[in-house]
């Protein structure tokens, strides 16, 4: 018997920033974003240049009713840079998929695009949903980055074992949207009321 899904009621009225990096699993992120919006969350999406090769910014703009942020030097909403405006708005941040490159940049404190800069500017809970080839996921450098980020309080969901885009089977498949949503709801319940 399958365990019942947790209610997504805790997501209503929450401001969530969703980062999308360059992997085929980005299509799952569209489902996550759609469900967050349906649950009553305000969702802002930040995409890397490579993410836009898998899913278009227009997809997320349509789902959220908000601009999709792709460039560190877009016109800022307020007097300070977009990464700071987004960081100030966020109550929780999800990166899905989180590629090996994303994990490495965050672990090392590198900031060379809007998403990596934003991730260094946030002071809210961060959930990463890794997705990559099994050999990449199991590489000692990637595992060291995961350990470093875990020690800093970053939360992970997945990756799962299964068939990967390359045709191989193993760990590296991004967690399914419902599983990600359940963790986000759990994290939202732990947040203080209104930011």
Q: Which tokens go with 95? A: 């990166």
End-to-end CA distance of the chain: 38
Query: What Rg value do the Cα atoms of the chain yield, rounded?
Result: 16
Distances (CA, A) of 5 to 11, 95, 156, 186: 14, 22, 19, 11
Identify the active-site residue in 74, 138, 166, 168: 166
Smallest Cα–Cα separation from 130: which of 103, 105, 154, 110?
Answer: 103
In the block, residue with structure tokens 């090769």: 53
State how beta strands 169-173 and 160-163 pair.
antiparallel
Q: How many CA atoms lie within 13 A of 123 on its CB side?
A: 4
Q: Angle at Cα 146 formed by Cα 68 and Cα 30, nearest 5°?
A: 25
Query: Is 102 assigned a catalytic role?
Result: no
Q: 164, 134 in Cβ contact below 8 A?
A: yes
Gap between the Cα atoms of 138 and 95, Å rounded: 20
Please give the positions annotated as active site.
Answer: 166
């Amino acid at each position: 018997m399958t365990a019942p899904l947790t209610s997504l009621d805790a997501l209503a009225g929450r401001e969530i920033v969703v980062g999308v990096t360059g992997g085929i699993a980005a299509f799952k992120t569209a489902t996550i974003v759609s469900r967050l919006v349906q649950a009553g969350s305000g969702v802002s999406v930040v995409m890397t240049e490579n993410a836009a090769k898998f899913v278009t910014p227009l997809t997320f703009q349509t789902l959220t009713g908000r601009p999709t942020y792709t460039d560190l030097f877009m016109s800022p909403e307020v007097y300070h840079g977009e990464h700071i405006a987004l960081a100030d708005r966020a109550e929780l941040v999800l990166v899905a998929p989180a590629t090996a490159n994303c994990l490495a940049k965050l672990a090392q404190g590198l900031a060379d695009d809007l998403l990596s800069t934003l991730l260094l500017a946030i002071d809210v809970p961060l959930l990463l949903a890794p997705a990559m080839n099994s050999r990449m996921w199991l590489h000692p450098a990637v595992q060291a980055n995961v350990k470093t980020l875990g020690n800093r309080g970053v939360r992970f969901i997945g990756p799962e074992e299964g068939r990967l885009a390359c045709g191989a089977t193993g760990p590296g498949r991004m967690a399914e949207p419902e599983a990600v949503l359940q963790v986000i709801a759990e994290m939202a319940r732990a947040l203080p009321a209104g930011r």
